[in-house]
Chains A and B, each alone.
Chain A
Amino acid sequence: MPYPASMEDSKRKVEETRSRRIEKGPPERIPAEERTALVPKFHPDFIKEQFRELRIGPNKGGRAPLEIADLLEGNSRIDPDRIDLDKIDHDVDVLVVGCGGAGGAASLLAEENGASVLISSKLRLGDANTIGAQAGTQGCDRPNDSPLLHYLDIMGGGHYVNVPELAEALAKDSPDVIKWLEELGVNWDKEPDNSYHELSGGGASRRRMHSCRDYTGLEEMRVIRDEIRQRNWHGRKIDWLEFEPAIELLMDDKGQVAGAILMNLETRQMSIVRAKAVVIATGGMGRTHIQGFPTTNHYGATADGLVLAYRVSCHLVHMDTMQYHPTGAAFPPQILGFLVTEKVRTLGAEIVNCDGEQFVHPLEARDTEASAEIRECKERGKGVSTPTGEVGLWLDSPMVDIKRGAGTIQRELPAMVRQFGRFDIDIIKEPMLVYPTLHYQNGGIVINADAATPIPGLFAAGECEGGVHGRNRLIGNSTLDLFVFGRRAGRAAAKWVKEVKLGKLTLDHVRKWQREIKEAGLEEMPVSPMLLPNYARQERYVPGFQPLGQVSPYTPFGDRAVRWI
């Protein structure tokens, strides 16, 4: 019996109300007016005291979450006066910082277009958020669909503040991304008539989510990573460095980006990369644990790319909006915050409260769905409490098999069955307990449709860039974003390196940054980029001990045995 007795009563109500819920059907979708009232009242993006104005840099005066603001205003990890820029360790055309789906795609396209490529990866090649993406990738390729409908969904989901050119690129490239991945050897789910098996998703008006069981991101990433390795077939033009993230960008005396300084995490040696173009593909920020939320993100999701870009005066957009995935695991505590894919709901699972009542349509856009859940728990008191003090709502997964026939869950959601099975919860027979979890950075570095930033030679792709999704990203559009803008960045970077002549390398931008920090009286800010979170428990203060990662001052360690999962 995996669920404790205190939760059993409520679980029984979920079971008892199933037939009634089937009869009744899902609640109406929330009308636009109600949605505009609901989200500001309950969504974490609207808790004013959790944000502050930035005091320096290109977004000065703009708002950011406290945790992100600290990093953006952080001190450099280097002393520019003690770095000899005449000693170059790696001289390449394109440096790609980060190697998830976006960095991988950028590397492949840059290589195909004639550039030599070096990848700087903080963890192993490909150990990124991409690999944990489960639900699927949108592609508007069914006959009743079109890039126009996809565009409308993207804009509506994003509250109409998306950059139109970027939303257009996302929609128009999507069928080709699906095709490209298949040509590389990705095994998409198919229907008996050979068409793609496509499901609907929250906020999407058509079924356009392509999947590989519920290991979509894993399948995409392992193929991309393998392809990067295999490109050595025709001579080594893609090289990579693992556990060696970028800690500062290099510029030249003409104001162009000219490479980066990397740090080997194991030896803490620094190396200098001269590159004619740099693609930032560092992903998201979940491990900063904004507002103390658990996260679905991987261990290295610490917003490093935002910091690198900000220091060379790139603007960031929509930094005051993060996505909280409506269904993070709230029980058992070993997988707190763990991503329960939206696919569970697209297949027919319902979100119900402690009394077994369905209070929201299961396929609202994510900010709406998450806000409705928070309202149900905080305002209406209809959440289910766990022994460790979490609160959650039931995600009634057995409904999937009831609606679609026995065996559907096992076939479509093997990862979910396995992950909960490890903790003796059988999601085929029992519901899961869920609550919103920190999932995605909606905004980020400003780019154009070529994934180029306004700084010459600097490109950004994937979760670290902003404007594509406005203030809220839809399911299946993030893995799409990776490949759309990763490919565009790779192509554009390769083109750029053919034209550019680098001048003399300089770290003057870092000197200038440190001066600004001093003038603003911010010398006490932590160093950034953060690189890794610090989850290591340290019982006593050790003089001189400098842990690699950082602890957020806003979510203190306290007495908890485990900081974060």
Chain B
Amino acid sequence: MAQETRVAEEGKVEEKVKMLDIYIMGKRYKVPDAGLTIQAALEYCGYNLIRGCGCREGFCGACATIYNFTYDPTIKYGLACQTVVEQNMVITQIPFFPAAESLYNVGDLQPKEGVNKLAELYPDILTCFGCNNCTKTCPQNLEVMEFVSDAIRGDYEKVYEKSFDCLLCGLCAARCPQGLQPYNIALAGRRLRGAYLAPKSQHNLDRVKEIEEGNFDADMEKLKKMSADELRELYAKREIEPAL
């Protein structure tokens, strides 16, 4: 932490905080050099956020942000809630980027031999020329171009594995020179994989059927009628399965 602390004569801790220059959409502000995230810095500067702010924990992708430095024009990418401001940072947010999603009915995604469903939905993916800009933008550090290639080959399993941590922030689409939407392509691929290619878990289907048939209803009625004390006794006696 860049906070300088010194002990004053009377023993009190005085804090002297260094200030940083940052530029929010080109306008200069001063913020304390105390490890503020971009989001916190915006609020420190007086912005009452409406767009560009969601979970504030790096999970929702609402705060996709592009930045560089006054002395370094290279564009960099991050989530505003997870990226710490630095001296001379120039910041703009991309809270929305137009990207039209292809329409499909998940019931029609059933994979067929010799047909690449993803290329059918997003025929433009074939125009990818491998510039790798998408990978460079990903705030999750995913191998975006690789899963686009996997999508071109119709390898749904690989698309699922490599794209799983995607937050759908949209930065990859914002920077694709071909106007592709890697995040939406991967989403369709993962849904297809989850709905059709993932092995079925028979124990779940069996339990659903047992419940539908009312197998537990009589015992459940008894439990529901029990007093707190009766339940407490059962609860204390219940056997706890060890963690895996």
Smallest Cβ distance from B165 to chain A, in angstroms?
6
The stretch of B69-77, B128-136, B174-182, B189-197 in contact with A is B189-197
Docked-complex contact B60 and A132, CB < 8 angstroms:
yes
Q: Which of A538, A549, A562 contacts B46 (CB 8 A)?
A: A538
Q: How far is the CA of A363 from the CA of B243 in the complex (A)?
A: 10
Interface flag for A124 (CB, 8 Å): yes
A140–B194 CA distance with the chains assembled, in angstroms: 20
Q: Which residues of A contact B84 (CB under 8 A)?
A: 334
**Nearest CB in chain B to that of A234: its residue:** B105
- Closest Cβ of chain A to B231, distance in Å, is 5
Query: Does A229 lie within 8 Å of B101, measured CB to CB?
Result: yes
Contact with B along A330-371 (1 / 0, CB 8 A): 001111001100000010100000000000000100000000
* Contact assessment for A148 and B203 in the assembled complex, using a CB-CB cutoff below 8 Å: no
CA distance A175 to B165 in the complex (A): 25
Q: Which residue of A lies closest to B31 (CB)?
A: A561
Q: Which residues of B contact A320 (CB under 8 A)?
A: none
Contact, CB under 8 Å: B40 / A127: no
Stretch at the interface among B112-120, B146-154, B218-226: B218-226
Distance in angstroms between the alpha carbons of A222 and B238 in the assembled complex: 37
From residue 510 to 556 of chain A, which have CB atoms closer than 8 A to chain B?
A: 532, 534-539, 547-549
Q: In the bound complex, do residue B201 and residue A190 qualify as a contact, i.e. CB atoms below 8 Å apart? A: yes
By a CB distance below 8 angstroms, the chain A residues around B17 are 561
**Contact across chains for A222 and B106 when beta carbons are under 8 A apart:** no
**Hey, which chain B residues are within 8 Å of A334, CB to CB?**
35-37, 40, 84
Q: Report which of A126, A172, A200 forms a contact with B241, defined as CB distance below 8 A.
A: A200
Complex CA gap A178/B193 in Å reads 16
Shortest CB-to-CB span from B46 to chain A, Å, is 5
The answer to whether B36 touches A562 (Cβ under 8 A) is yes
Contacts of B211 in A (CB 8 A): 147, 172, 175-176
Residues in A neighbouring B242, C-beta threshold 8 A: 200
CA distance in complex: A418, B165 (Å): 10
Residue A206 interfacial (CB < 8 Å): yes
Query: How many B residues have CB within 8 A of the partner chain?
Result: 80
Q: Is A537 a contact partner of B43 (Cβ separation < 8 A)?
A: yes
Residue among B56, B202, B232 making CB contact with A156, cutoff 8 Å: B232
How far apart sit A207 and B1, CA to CA, in the bound complex (Å)? 42
Contact among B43, B198, B239 for A535, CB-based, below 8 A:
B43
B48 pairs with A534, CB closer than 8 A: yes
A156 and B48 in contact (CB under 8 A), knowing A188-B198, A333-B35, A346-B243? no
Q: Bound complex: CA of A199 vs CA of B241, how far in Å?
A: 10
Q: B24 near A: Cβ within 8 Å?
A: no
Residue of A nearest to B17 (CB): A561
Q: Is B8 an interface residue (CB 8 A)?
A: no
CB contact list, B5-62 vs A, under 8 A: 17, 31-32, 34-37, 40, 43-51, 53-60, 62
Q: Are B50 and A131 in contact (CB under 8 A)?
A: no
Query: Does B187 lie at the interface of the complex (its beta carbon under 8 Å from any beta carbon of A)?
Result: yes
Q: What are 14 sample pairs from A and B whose C-beta atoms fall under 8 A apart? A: A141-B208, A146-B216, A160-B228, A179-B208, A188-B201, A205-B239, A207-B244, A218-B60, A222-B168, A266-B51, A298-B54, A332-B35, A334-B35, A334-B84
Known: A187-B160, A230-B103. 16 other contacts (CB 8 A): A32-B236, A131-B60, A149-B238, A153-B235, A175-B208, A179-B208, A187-B198, A198-B244, A215-B59, A219-B164, A230-B106, A298-B57, A334-B37, A418-B140, A536-B48, A565-B37
Which A residues fall within an 8 A CB radius of B? 4, 32, 123-124, 126-127, 129, 131-132, 139-149, 151-153, 155-156, 160-161, 164-165, 168, 172, 175-176, 178-179, 182-188, 190, 194-196, 198-200, 205-207, 212-213, 215, 217-219, 222-223, 226-227, 229-230, 232-234, 243, 265-266, 296, 298-299, 332-335, 338-339, 346, 348, 363, 387, 414-415, 418-419, 422, 532, 534-539, 547-549, 561-563, 565
